[in-house]
Amino acid sequence: MGTLLPKLGDLLTKEYKLQKGVRGEIMFLNAEMESMQAALLKVSEAPIDQPPDNQVRLWAKAVRDLSYDLEDSIDRYMVRVDTHEPHSFMGYVHRSLNLLTKGKIQHKIGIDIKGIKSRIKEISERRDRYKIDNIGSKPIGPTVDSLRLSALYDNAVDLIGIEEKSEVLVQMLKDGDELSEKQLKMVSIAGFGGLGKTTLANVVYQKLKPQFDCCAFVSVSLTPNMKKIFENLLNQLDKKNMNIVKDNWDQEQLIRELREFLKNKRYLIIIDDMWDKTVWKIIKHALIENEYGSRVLATTRNLDIAKEAGHVYQLESLSIVESRKLFNQRIFGSEEESIPIKLAQIATSILKKCGGIPLAIITIASLLASKEGNANAYEYWSMVYRSMGSGLQNSLDDLKNMMRILSVSYYDLPQHLKTCLLYLSLYPEDYQIKTTTLVWKWVGEGFVKKEHGKNLYKVGEDYLDELINRSLLQPAYSDSNKTVTSCRVHDMVRDLITSLSNEENFLTRLGDQQIVSVPSKFRRLSLQTSNKEVIQLPTESLSHVRSLTVANSAFSLLPTISGFLVLRALDFSGCREVDDDHLKDICNLFHLRYLCLHETSVKKIPREIGNLRFLEVLDMSDTELKEELPSTFVRLTQLVLLDMPKGIICAVPRLIPSLSSLSFLRIAVETLGEEDLQVLGSMPSLSDLDIWVNDPTKGRDRRLIIDNGYPFRCLTKLSIGGRTDGMELLFTQGAMQQLRTLELCFSVRDIMRQDGDLGLENLSSLEYVCVRTTSQDQAEHNAVSSAIQKSLNMNPNKPTLEVKETLSEILLCVKRALHSLGEQPCPLIKTALVGAYEAICELSHQMKYDLPTL
């Protein structure tokens, strides 16, 4: 509903001349939807131990459906009314006809709004009738805290590898010289829910307790009562005077008492399950620095909080070997016991689904142990495996409890991050997600909100970092700058968000076993199979689809594209059947914000592209365009990203400065000259430019000089390179004054022809330079590094330099992929190799290598 309310506000502005009476209806809708949004937010923030009952769920679903339908109606109206025709005779004719049609459009929205108003009244009456706002959540069993502790304290000594991990932590707490040993030291354990952080902290606690004057172990939890936490600390630390805490003591008094008691003590305190930086800062006020060698150990799922709480110990998931040992130990009583042959395959599938999470392995193994040796064991094990993917509603009780523990991380998210995380249910199991693509999809879907001083992509990157820091996304691959370039979703998280997504009708993925029932209205749709038996799309439901993702294998089953009347995001990545004719049809989807035609057979962008006035992202990477951009491209004034680096066009399109919102541009041109630089430099919003020059010397002097005559007012990152020898570049005083990152992809010969003098000392904001070369000669590599570093030493900012030999990078990618296999099961081999292949393709594309097909 976050995008609906601003649109209702826009409708009330003067530029939309609504029919008499409709304006009042809009004001009514706005007030009602604001009220419902507040109620929905209350429902979404219900504690995981106390989920809303079925009546509340049904009401919330009705509100979501209503908001979708209302936004669709408003968008249809805005698209038709916002049409601005060119200043020509035909434009005059079109505008005259529009005067006739706009009356019909306004009449239509009036009818739509009356129907929606009727639905709102019915939903509001139901809200009052069932007292939705006052419904108390019903306890459904033990709390998450009790489930977590009972699951993980039980037989802690049996957890595989816990002894070794506890010794590492003990050493981290002890390490230091004589002086530092006397200082207060803090260490934190960070990791995903269910990895055993609490158990590990308790083992360390039991080992170290005898060495301290006083000790305490307190759990903070998601909704902490600070007064009770400090009371608990004081009672555990001062056991001789356990009853000294007075009821009238407030938080400040308790902190004073704690500091007074601890000032002459060597203390050990475990702060378990931290969720909030602010809470941690409050607790720190009580932890006095007294030079007695006190120690504090904290646990958290959030990496940012872990860093605040001291030296970080990142707890990793179990390897497949460790997982199997724990699994066997729980079922057979011995980690050496082998699984019966008839159960081996299903056991492997179960362990893969558990993904090395001890809580999941222990829970599942405990269920299976009851049927071990039974004649129907295989059927039972298969049923348990199927139940693992059925979410919170349809699982066995023990699995429900486990999922409730894991889902606390989801319910702790702010609403915008919940939306972004649910969107990840789009991807198949074990899929490596390219982070740049993911962030742009979030932008195109409207999930990313504007923040002052940041572009939308940067805000989206912050969202991504937050999900990684909260251990809900796992980094799969990082570049040399430690920037995460691809990520994946843990199987257990994927099952959870798929269940929640299905429940809210947020996204439907057809082509696997995840969907239990097909909704009557699709809102976001992903087609992943060519099996006609699996994909049966009722035509009438397509008119409500806002987002469509289609795998290459499923494209042939797709109905006519014209049926998707309110489509905002379309991803045809890898669909080779998509051609120029399909793109013409796509250009009639007037609501599109995001369009991905990566690796399709499109050769030409048609004039009709000008119809897509709301388009923000156009991704045509690895699609070989053969013709220049049409003149109608200038109408895409809301375009933020244009990515078309493979189809080489003659020169920088002269119309590009008209794209006032364009911030990110990836393009390949035949040649690059001063006029091209003037065009690029005049772009008002360009912040990230990636340009490849096919023939650097064609039709111009060898050296390209960039000076202060080319404004580049917003450019912070430039990537530039050329296919053949002859690319020389020189930055003069005052050039590109906002540029912070520079990536160069040249031959060693070109760089050394200039003695490494690229004028980098003249880039006043430069922070980082990366040079990619094709040379495998170490002497040449060193010469390039030395020459460029000499130039950078004259830059007041002292930018960081990296010189990379591209072929070595390719080999390193393969080596990393092979190393990542370890003793993983066979299904992961494909994932690792695909990741390596994608990295190789990206690098080879940057250097324009022709690699053999793998």
Q: Are 123 and 40 spatial neighbours (Cβ–Cβ below 8 Å)?
A: no
Q: Are 85 and 94 spatial neighbours (Cβ–Cβ below 8 Å)?
A: yes
CA of residue 461 relative to chain centroid, distance: 8
Report d(CA 132, CA 214) in Å as an integer.
Answer: 49
Residue 503 lies in a domain: no
- Which of 192, 297, 175, 279 lies closest to 230 in space, CA to CA? 279
- Which of 700, 782, 791 lies closest to 754 in space, CA to CA? 791
Task: Identify the segments of the chain with pLDDT beneath 70.
Answer: 1-2, 13-21, 43-52, 80-109, 130-158, 176-180, 241-246, 370-375, 389-401, 480, 512-518, 530-539, 647, 696-702, 723-727, 748, 752, 754-756, 774-776, 806-854
Report d(CA 406, CA 430) in Å as an integer.
Answer: 19
Same domain, 258 and 307: yes
Consecutive H or E run containing 703: strand 703-706
DSSP E strands, 212-337: 214-219, 267-274, 295-300, 311-314
Token pair in block for residue 218: 């307190």
Q: Spell out the residues 6+ positions from residue 205 whose beta carbon is closer than 8 angstroms to its own.
A: 215, 217, 268, 270, 297
CATH number at residue 439: 1.10.10
Same domain, 299 and 380: no
Same domain, 178 and 309: yes
- Check residue 454 and give its pLDDT: 86
Same domain, 329 and 435: no
- Check residue 330 and give its pLDDT: 83
- Check residue 442 and give its pLDDT: 95
Q: Residue holding tokens 């009438």?
A: 540
DSSP state of 316: P
Q: Give strand pairing partners of 296.
A: 186, 269
Helix, strand, coil % in the chain, rounded to nearest 5: 50, 15, 40
Q: Are 590 and 614 spatial neighbours (Cβ–Cβ below 8 Å)?
A: yes
Residue 668 lies in a domain: no
CATH number at residue 283: 3.40.50.300
Residue 46 lies in a domain: yes
Same domain, 165 and 310: yes
Boundary of a domain, candidates 282, 314, 346: 314
Q: Provide the residue range defining the domain that includes 488.
A: 413-495
3-class DSSP state for residue 454?
strand
Q: Spell out the residues 6+ positions from residue 276 whose beta carbon is closer than 8 angstroms to its own.
A: 224, 305
Boundary of a domain, candidates 314, 342, 364: 314
3-class DSSP state for residue 785?
helix
Token pair in block for residue 772: 């990619």
Q: Are 256 and 234 spatial neighbours (Cβ–Cβ below 8 Å)?
A: no
- Which of 131, 147, 127 lies closest to 139 in space, CA to CA? 147
Token pair in block for residue 624: 């070989």
3-class DSSP state for residue 189?
strand
Q: Residue holding tokens 């709390």?
A: 143
Residue 634 lies in a domain: no
Same domain, 106 and 40: yes
Residue 470 lies in a domain: yes
Boundary of a domain, candidates 436, 470, 495: 495
Backbone angles phi and psi of 3, in degrees to 5? -90, -15
Q: Residue holding tokens 């375009």?
A: 639
Same domain, 453 and 370: no
Residue 220 lies in a domain: yes
Token pair in block for residue 553: 């294998």
- Check residue 373 and give its pLDDT: 58
Same domain, 192 and 287: yes
Same domain, 214 and 283: yes
- Which of 74, 311, 360, 349 lies closest to 187 in space, CA to CA? 311
Q: Are strands 474-478 and 484-488 parallel, antiparallel or unpaired?
A: antiparallel
Report d(CA 789, CA 771) in Å as an integer.
Answer: 11
Residue 585 lies in a domain: no
Q: Spell out the residues 6+ positions from residue 453 whose beta carbon is closer than 8 angstroms to its own.
A: none
3-class DSSP state for residue 232?
helix
Same domain, 126 and 171: no
**Count of domains observed in the chain:** 4
Model pTM? Answer: 0.78
DSSP states of 140-174: -SS-HHHHHHHHHHTTGGGSTTHHHHHHHHHHHHH
- Check residue 638 and give its pLDDT: 94
Report d(CA 24, CA 8) in Å as an integer.
Answer: 12
Report d(CA 499, CA 425) in Å as an integer.
Answer: 9
Same domain, 308 and 324: no
- Check residue 58 and give its pLDDT: 80
Tens-place pLDDT, residues 555-607? 887 888 888 888 999 999 999 999 999 999 999 999 999 999 999 999 999 99
Backbone angles phi and psi of 454, in degrees to 5? -130, 145
Residue 70 lies in a domain: yes
- Check residue 84 and give its pLDDT: 47
Same domain, 34 and 104: yes
